[in-house]
Amino acid sequence: MRPLTPTRFVEFDPKTLSELEGRAVVQITPEGTLGQAARTANRLTKGAIARLVEAKSFEKTKAGDVISLAWPAGMKVEALDVLVTPRKLTATEARKAGAKLAALGGGKTITVLAGSMVKAADLALGMALRDYRFDAHKSSQDSTVGEIVIAHKSPAETETAFAPMAAVAEGVHMTRDLVNEPANVLTTTEFANRLVEMEALGLEVEVLEEAELAELGMRTLLSVGQGSDSPSKVVVMRWNGGAADAAPLALVGKGVVFDTGGISLKPAGGMEDMTMDMGGAGVVAGTMRALALRKAKANVVGLVGLVENMPSGNATRPGDVVTSMKGGTVEIINTDAEGRLVLCDVMWYAQERFKPAGMIDLATLTGAIIIGLGHENAGVFSNDDGFCNAFLKAAAAEGEGAWRMPLGKAYDDQLKSRIADMKNVGGRPAGSITAAQFLQRFVKDGTPWIHLDIAGVASVKSATDYAPKGATGWGVMALSRMVQDLYEDR
Ligand code: BES
Ligand code: MN
Ligand code: ZN
């Protein structure tokens, strides 16, 4: 993966402003009050910032806007970026401001004259998150920011605050790379290899191959991958940063590297988007990376089911009946409802082997969740209010949209099968909820569980606050924070 743009923290000194190269960032308030560096810049430019504030157009300027003055007189920089924000920024305002600055790209150094800004580390995080491109398959690379310099009155403290944030940003970038990667490159084998590479970060990584999965009885998972030439795999990643006897949090991800729908073939239009159907596994991978990089004091195990859903002479047919690892039978009405067939075996295995303190699964599971919640919120389903609220709180703090959805027996009844213990679809009504009900049948009594349907948020067609269009990395920040809130801050 492309490394994060290097970020340096240096002592704040407005006297250096005239000599800086690339771009320089100074702060003014929406009321037009100039910060210390802005006053210096105003003097160097013989009043350019004062004229900007007095101009009629400044009345329309909102907090969070960036006004760029190109080739300012009296300075060496190519552009002076005037950041309009309240004097005291919240963490979210600082992140959004950083993201706006990073979106300017340009391949040069950006020096942010942050002075005594309390949330300067968050501003740097916003820059790191937004300073992302997926250009691995382009012959000419788009430029990101060349180098980020934060000039601050307490550079060492700001740098210390930024270190765990950089770990999380790197996890987000990894998730995005995996989700953006096409399926001929990111095969199940390549995906597993990229996870094994994370052993270098101190994670324990195991790859379970088809023979072992068959031995374990994971027939529903194997039924999804059996039409593909790429072998199905389950990868287990363990981060043991907590007490030796503490039960881990289990993260389980749907990793369908491509979803054609199988014999229940999807229509051609938009099918290329199904390269992102491993988004749940991508978030699990990125979160494990973040936890390892920031050396989280918690035990977390990440499991991903890696399969490809293809039609072929060996593919599962609609009407086939398969037995899950748990032991019940499933009538496969629609081979395009494959995610739940992958997850149910991996979730069962996770609980049998690790007896987790809690389990969170993530999946680009249903188109129906996009109809319900659009691209703003992931669907959240849970059997435990306390556990669920901890996630919702973490997601809100990180600005990752998440909205709780209901579960209930009447929905579960939609899964009754004439010939098997259950069927894999519950019909058109409440498609996301019946998918969650299917999964809940594989959650043991007493395991706090959250299911996150991320079909609408994993990859989007227009840029978000923190990401260019394409993969967002949604969930890595919320999960990393939840791990900290629940298991580290004690
Ligand atoms: N991977 C899809 C869900 C999806 C749709 C993800 C759009 C991202 C964007 C999933 O495997 C699927 O095909 N679900 C079906 C379920 C149906 C057959 C019950 C769906 O949503 O149509
Ligand atoms: Mn499908
Ligand atoms: Zn799918």
Nearest CA to ligand 1 atom 16: 337
Whether 266 is a known active-site residue: answer yes
Residues paired with 8 in a beta bridge: 149
Same domain, 335 and 194: yes
Interval between CA 353 and ligand 2 midpoint (Å): 28
The conformation of residue 200, written as its DSSP 8-state character, comes to G
Ligand 1 atom closest to the CA of 364, numbered from 1: 6
8 A C-beta contact, residue 7 and residue 161: no
Ligand 1 atom closest to the CA of 266, numbered from 1: 13
Same domain, 216 and 329: yes
Task: Report whether residue 271 contacts ligand 1, using a CB cutoff of 6 Å.
Answer: no
Nearest CA to ligand 1 atom 7: 367
Same domain, 395 and 436: yes
At 322, phi and psi to the nearest 5?
-130, 160
| Pairing, β 449-453 against β 378-382 | antiparallel
The upper half-sphere exposure of residue 257, i.e. CA atoms within 13 Å in the direction of its Cβ, equals 26
Q: Which tokens belong to 149? A: 């310099």
Residue 1 domain flag: no
Residue 317 domain flag: yes
Same domain, 31 and 57: yes
With b for 16 or more beta-carbon neighbours within 10 A and e for fewer, the 300-320 pattern comes to bbbbbbbbbbbbeeebbeeee
State the burial class of residue 243 (Cβ atoms within 10 Å of its Cβ: 0-12, 13-18, 19+).
Answer: exposed
Residues paired with 259 in a beta bridge: 309
Task: Report whether residue 453 contacts ligand 1, using a CB cutoff of 6 Å.
Answer: no
**Between the CA of residue 132 and those of 120, 127, 150, 279, 311, what are the distances in Å?**
20, 9, 19, 17, 35
Q: Position of tokens 């979210």?
A: 92
Residue 306 domain flag: yes
Residue 164 domain flag: no
Residue 163 domain flag: no
Ligand 1: which of 223, 254, 344, 366 to mutate, most ligand atoms within 8 Å of CB?
366
Per residue of the chain (490 residues), give pLDDT as tens.
888 999 999 999 999 999 999 999 999 999 999 999 999 999 999 999 999 999 999 999 999 999 999 999 999 999 999 999 999 999 999 999 999 999 998 899 999 999 999 999 999 999 999 999 999 999 987 788 999 999 999 999 999 999 999 999 999 999 999 999 999 999 999 999 999 999 999 999 999 999 999 999 999 999 999 999 999 999 999 999 999 999 999 999 999 999 999 999 999 999 999 999 999 999 999 999 999 999 999 999 999 999 999 999 999 999 999 999 999 999 999 999 999 999 999 999 999 999 999 999 999 999 999 999 999 999 999 999 999 999 999 999 999 999 999 999 999 999 999 999 999 999 999 999 999 999 999 999 999 999 999 999 999 999 999 999 999 999 999 999 999 999 997 6
Whether 56 is a known active-site residue: answer no
The count of structural domains within the chain is: 2
Task: Report whether residue 338 contacts ligand 1, using a CB cutoff of 6 Å.
Answer: yes
Give the CATH number for residue 119: 3.40.220.10
| 345: containing domain | 172-488
Task: Report whether residue 455 contacts ligand 1, using a CB cutoff of 6 Å.
Answer: yes
Residue 315 domain flag: yes
Question: Nearest to residue 287, comparing CAs of 179, 398, 174?
Answer: 174
Same domain, 184 and 142: no
Residue 253 domain flag: yes
Task: Report whether residue 179 contacts ligand 1, using a CB cutoff of 6 Å.
Answer: no
Same domain, 184 and 124: no
At 206, phi and psi to the nearest 5?
-125, 140
Residue 166 domain flag: no
Task: Report whether residue 364 contacts ligand 1, using a CB cutoff of 6 Å.
Answer: yes
Neighbours of 463 (CB within 10 A): 14
Q: How far apart are CA 117 and CA 89, in angstroms?
A: 8
Give the CATH number for residue 224: 3.40.630.10
